[in-house]
Structures are given as C-alpha cells and as structure tokens.
A and B are shown apart, each in its own frame.
Chain A
Amino acid sequence: MIELLSATRCVACDACVKVCPTNVFDAVDDAPPRIARQADCQTCFMCELYCPTDALFVSPEADGPSAVQETELSARGALGSYRAAVGWGQGQKPGARSDASYRVLSLVAAPELPPRKQPQQEQA
C-alpha cells in the first residue's frame, strides 16, 4: 500500500491524483496532495512510475498499512527504484527495449518438471 508522499520531494504537480486508478489521493490547493483513502490502494505501483520527483513509496504489503521511514528509504535508494527498473526516468532507456522474455518464456512453457524429492534444508 501507498505509505509515503514526501513533502520535501513533491512539487505538487498532482500527477498521482490524476493517474491513480483507485483514486487514493486528494489534491490540495498550493500543497502536496494527501493520501486520502489508503485502504483503497491496490498496490499496483503505478503512481511511482508517473511521479516526476520520486516522492512516493508503495510498500509491498498489500493487505494493510506498514510503517516506513523516509530517511531510511531514501538512504537505501528505494525511492524511485521501480521507475528506474522500468526505465522511465529522464534520459533512461525504456526497460521494454531490454525485455528478455524471449529467453524465459520458452522455458516457462516447457512441460513442468516432477517435484523435487530431495528436501532443501533452508528456511525462510
């Protein structure tokens, strides 16, 4: 779910208000938008892709809110990481150009292997 709209990064362009497919944000006059309906967030990450200043962070936790820290997210480069992965940042090459599905889809389509018999001794 959407967890952060950074007031320091936001330029109040209201792109997120416009593009969010589930209408999570409300525009505010002369100020950053506000996360008005967090529970309606469907964790699709689209707002991050359209945010020109990487001011948004969507946590992967889809079923409820979770705590995040802007300084920590910023320090580990999480803000804007998805936009970079998709190649939508300024001067970047669109990720679709390097879509390597052609190396993967034929393997995915191959018949399923029988499940492994040997236990993997590894815990999550």
Chain B
Amino acid sequence: MHDGQAPFASGPGLSDDSLQLRADVLVLGGGPAGTWAAWSAAQSGARVVLADKGYCGTSGATAPSGTGVWYVPPDAQAREEARASREAMGGYLADRRWMDRVLDQTHENVDRLAAWGYPFPTDDAGESYRRSLQGPEYMRLMRKRVKAAGVTILDHSPALELLTHDGEVVGAAGIQRQTGVRWSARAGAVVIATGGCAFLSRALGCNVLTGDGGLFAAEVGAQLSGMEFSNAYGLGPAFASVTKSAFYRFATFYYADGRPIEGAGSARGRSIIAKTLLEQPVYACLDQVPEGVRDSLRAAQPNFFLPFDRRGIDPLTQHFPVTLRLEGTVRGTGGIRIASEACGTSVPGLFAAGDAATRELICGGFTGGGSHNAAWAMSSGYWSGQGAAAHAQQLGEHAHARTAVPAGRASLRPDRDAHTLDPEALTRAVQDEVFPYERNLFRTDKQLTESLARLDSLWQEAQARPAQNARDVLRGRESAAMTAIARFMYTSARARTETRGMHKHLDHPAQDPTQQHRLICQGLERIQVEVEPVQHSALQPVAAAL
C-alpha cells in the first residue's frame, strides 16, 4: 500500500490483496478521450496504464450511441463557417485559436480511424463520409488499437482518488469492483478522462458518468471552468434511455388531446417542452420527416429506433410520450480548467481530456453534444496523452522515487468517525436539487441559494464512510462526486447574473456584455469563483439578440 491511511478499511467483499502498478502515464477513463490519450501517450514511447470504471469499449456516453463529428475539410471558407456556426449560441466564450487546433487535430484523427479500418460509408457522390461515427464500432476499434499499442487496460477498475507529492500528481488508487482488490498505480503523469456528470439519470450510456474526475481534480487543488453550463437535458421517449435528440428536428410536439404545442421544438423550443412537462405529459411524433429519407434515418441511427421497435410504436406516425433527462456536464460544456495547450490542468502532473474537461474553448456555453464534444474528446485526448508522456519523460526515474500521499477525502477518510454514509440516499437528495427543470433549467437566485444551502449540508454528510464493501465504497465516492459537482454548478450559476449559452437565469434574462468572460471555480469546503477573460473570441455584437 502507498503511504498514509488506506483508502478504505477491510470488510466483506474487499480483498486483502492489492495490485501495484507503475507507469509513465496513467489514464483514468476508457471512452473516446481516454483511449486517444492512452494511444498517443504510448505512441510517444510511454508505458501506459488505462483504468476504466466499466469496460473500455462499452463505457461512457459514446459507445452505446453514435455521434456526429466536427470533421471539416481544411478549406478556408468551410472552416470559417464551422467556427462561426455556434459562436452566438455559445455566448461568445469560445476561443478561435483552439477551434482551429481542434479542427486540424480532429481531421487528422478521423483520417487515422479510416486508415485503421473504421468502415466509413460512401456518400451519394462516391466520397468517403467521415462526419458520423457509430459508437459500438468506434469504441471497439479504439480498444483494439490501444491494446495493440501496448497499453495495459484495467477494466472494472474505477479510480477512487489521486496520489500526490508536494503539490504534484504522482498516481491514483482505486478498486477492482468485481473482485474487491485495491489497485494503486504510480505514474509520471495522470490524465483524467472520466467523462462529465449526468447524475445517474439513466440517459444513454451516462450512468458511469458521475463526475468522479472533477472531484479528484478539485481535491488536489485544480480549477474547474464553466460549471454554470451544466444543465443540458436530453430529449427522448419518456420510458426509454435513448436520449438521441437529432431526429426530433422532424418532430411535432403535442398535448395528450392531440393539439400541437405552440413553439415547442427540439432545439430552440426545448424550454417550451420543459415548461409543459412541469404541468402535463408531452407527446411527440416525427411527422415532419421529409419523403425519401425515412429509410436513411434507420440506417443512420439504428439505436434510435430500438426502444420504439421493442414497444411496438411507429414514431413516424404515432404519438409517444417524451421527457427530458438531465445530461448535466456530459452535454454541458463545463469541466476541469485547461491551463496549457497539452491539456494540462493548473496542477503539475495532472492532465484532463474529453467531457471531464471544459469544452468552452471550442463551444463556449452551449453544445448539443456529439459533433463538437466528439471532436474535443479525440483532440484533447490526443494532446493530453502526448503532454503527459512528455511530462513523465522529463521526470525520468525520479518519477517513482517520490513518496505518494492519497488525496481522497469525502467518503474515504472522514475527519472524525461519524454516521455511516448511505450512498443511495445521498444520490437521491442530490438528484432532487439538479433534476427538476424549475431549478436547474430555469434558474433563479432564490432557488440557487436554497439549493446550495441544502447541498452544503449534503456535502458534510458525504464526508462519512459508507459500508466497507466494493460496491458501497464506489457508490459512496460517486455520490460524493455528484454532490461536489452540483455545488460547483450552482455556485457558478449564481455568480453569472445574466443569461448566456445554456445558462438561463430568470432574474437576469438578457446577455450582459460586461460578463463575456469565463467563471473559474476552485476549492471544496469553500468554493471560490473567479473571472477569467476570454482570449481570441469573436467580438460579441453590441446588442446581442440572443
């Protein structure tokens, strides 16, 4: 075991064995960002360990889904249109220099996928079409490439905490949840690619995404950015997990009696859907699908149709109930602040990639998921792997001579012996603060303040230990992470006294030109929020219409 107190006591279901590993680069998370990070680190000559909470290849929001990709040919006009397309929706908080970098890197990586044998389709003009990735195929291929690059993959091995030495990150420790064996990996650098936080809402592929990496980062003093942009809700059938929203572009939304809901839509009209759902069920029907593309829908997104087929519903002709499931920071844009071009954080030895990191650099305060997030995952993953490998190489053998102090606190090492943490109860209490549309989608200062008071007291509860078995230790840590993320979200939201990007503040419904900046938060006991100017952004129109 590493120095300091064990992360959890012995107990039934916890093994006395432990697995000790050494690597140059340790990657936490095996979705798109984590696999690209692991691959590029290995490509740079690093010994790499990748630890995933679930199974690298099926874990995360991408694998069971499928995604558009922000893949734009290097043509000046096409690139300009790509940059400009979401600047207004994002509230002018993106950075054009980062957009250029991501467009370049994404183009290169997607072409690499083609060279690796990803079966891209051929479009009607006979060209290879590379703007869409099928999740199962993409992530199966990434696992294969990561293994071929010599990376050691630990499946079902969630990290529970980082290890530090003198303000630097030197590894991480966790548990193998199928055996109860603890693992501990010392590394020259660590990449957090654990995804965003969707608060166990059962949105497609999102229940492994509980914000763990955000908590780990905050515990070692790293900063987060844009956490107010954390209230994305995915649209889908009320009974199902499939929150793939693109095709609802072709939907009409109805009341139970069959009357259409005025103003309801999948993009700009989503607030109307949420407002209606507060009072009564909302139904949808994809009755605006243009002739001639019906079969294409099925071929583009087979899993979109799966819940309907299994329920015996034809979504193109029949009305079905819909709901909005919270996807939090998965389709939001807030996350760990990026402090260098290599996706380093503000803490030495710690890198962040994918949805665990802020995506404001390329999309400001709004993203519909997919497209930009997919591009960000493969680009930031690639850079963080390279950066982490370079950091480790610079340290050389000294990397493993450093002592390691475990950084985990909440639910792992209580200051005093208190009650036993009930992870399920804590999770439900946090969900009660973040799920309701009237709190999280439509924000007011009063509601945010009241929620924060309750979340602060939940954070005190989250300090206690759960029952000491593998499942509860993990669940306890996840519930603590969700509590921390909710506090970051609402603290940042209260500080942004305007409406911008996806952050709708009912007390301040207009965009305030003096708040065209990012909000950085830091600290766990007391959360501090600071303002950071935006670099290289497009000029915000003086009278912004949004």
Q: List residues of A whose CB falls within 8 A of some B CB.
A: 17-23, 40, 42-46, 49-50, 59-63, 78, 81-82, 85-86, 88, 94-105, 107-108, 112-113, 115-124
Sort A-B residue pairs by CB-CB distance and give the 3 closest, nearest first: A21-B54, A124-B319, A60-B307
What are 12 inter-chain pairs, A to B, with CB distance below 8 A?
Answer: A20-B58, A23-B156, A46-B64, A63-B239, A94-B137, A100-B121, A107-B290, A112-B267, A115-B253, A115-B261, A116-B288, A120-B287
Q: Nearest B residue to A83 by beta-carbon distance? A: B136
The answer to whether B277 has its CB under 8 Å from any CB of chain A is: no
Q: Nearest B residue to A98 by beta-carbon distance? A: B299
A122 touches B319 (CB 8 A): yes
Given known contacts A23-B178, A96-B137, A103-B124, is B132 in contact with A43 (CB within 8 Å)? no
Residues of chain B within 8 A (CB-CB) of A23 are: 54, 156, 177-178
Contact of A60 among B63, B118, B239 (CB under 8 A): B239
Residues of chain A within 8 A (CB-CB) of B308 are: 60
Contact of B202 among A42, A88, A99, A119 (CB under 8 A): A42
Residues of chain B within 8 A (CB-CB) of A61 are: 239-240
Contact of A105 among B55, B132, B250, B261 (CB under 8 A): B132
B208 touches A21 (CB 8 A): yes
Residues of chain A within 8 A (CB-CB) of B121 are: 96-102
Contact of A50 among B58, B68, B300 (CB under 8 A): B58
Q: How far is the CA of A104 from the CA of B49 in the complex (A)?
A: 39
Residues of chain B within 8 A (CB-CB) of A19 are: 55, 57-58
Q: List residues of B whose CB falls within 8 A of some A CB.
A: 53-55, 57-60, 63-64, 68, 118-121, 123-124, 129, 131-134, 136-137, 155-156, 177-178, 202, 204-208, 237, 239-242, 246-247, 249-250, 252-254, 258-269, 283, 285, 287-288, 290, 293, 295-297, 299-303, 305-311, 313, 317-321
New A-B pairs, 12, CB < 8 Å, besides A63-B239, A115-B263: A40-B207, A42-B208, A44-B64, A60-B240, A60-B306, A60-B310, A78-B310, A100-B296, A101-B301, A104-B297, A112-B267, A124-B313
Residues of chain A within 8 A (CB-CB) of B320 are: 124
A101 touches B252 (CB 8 A): no
Q: How far is the CA of A43 from the CA of B269 in the complex (A)?
A: 27
Given known contacts A94-B137, A98-B121, A119-B258, is B58 in contact with A113 (CB within 8 Å)? no
Q: Tell me which of A98, A104, A113, A117 has the highest count of chain B C-beta atoms within 10 A of its own C-beta.
A: A104
Given known contacts A44-B204, A101-B131, A103-B124, is B58 in contact with A112 (CB within 8 Å)? no
Residues of chain B within 8 A (CB-CB) of A42 are: 202, 204-208, 241
Q: How far is the CA of A78 from the CA of B123 in the complex (A)?
A: 30
A101 touches B300 (CB 8 A): yes
A49 touches B299 (CB 8 A): no
Residues of chain B within 8 A (CB-CB) of A88 are: 136
A103 touches B293 (CB 8 A): yes
Residues of chain A within 8 A (CB-CB) of B132 are: 99, 101-102, 105
**Minimum distance in angstroms from A92 CB to a CB of chain B:** 12
B293 touches A107 (CB 8 A): yes
Q: How far is the CA of A117 from the CA of B260 in the complex (A)?
A: 7
Residues of chain A within 8 A (CB-CB) of B264 are: 115
**Minimum distance in angstroms from A15 CB to a CB of chain B:** 10
Q: Nearest A residue to B305 by beta-carbon distance? A: A85
Q: How far is the CA of A120 from the CA of B255 in the complex (A)?
A: 11
B293 touches A104 (CB 8 A): yes
Residues of chain A within 8 A (CB-CB) of B208 are: 21-22, 42
Q: How far is the CA of A51 from the CA of B133 in the complex (A)?
A: 22
Residues of chain A within 8 A (CB-CB) of B285 are: 120, 122
Contact of B134 among A99, A105, A115, A124 (CB under 8 A): A99
**Minimum distance in angstroms from A24 CB to a CB of chain B:** 10
Q: Nearest B residue to A40 by beta-carbon distance? A: B207
Residues of chain A within 8 A (CB-CB) of B306 are: 45, 60, 82, 85
Q: How far is the CA of A21 from the CA of B261 in the complex (A)?
A: 38
Q: Nearest A residue to B312 by beta-carbon distance? A: A76
Residues of chain B within 8 A (CB-CB) of A44 are: 58, 63-64, 204-205, 241
**Minimum distance in angstroms from B91 CB to a CB of chain A:** 20
A120 touches B300 (CB 8 A): no
Q: How far is the CA of A95 from the CA of B134 in the complex (A)?
A: 8
Q: How far is the CA of A116 from the CA of B288 in the complex (A)?
A: 9
Q: How far is the CA of A103 from the CA of B300 in the complex (A)?
A: 9
A112 touches B269 (CB 8 A): yes
Q: How far is the CA of A112 from the CA of B252 in the complex (A)?
A: 11
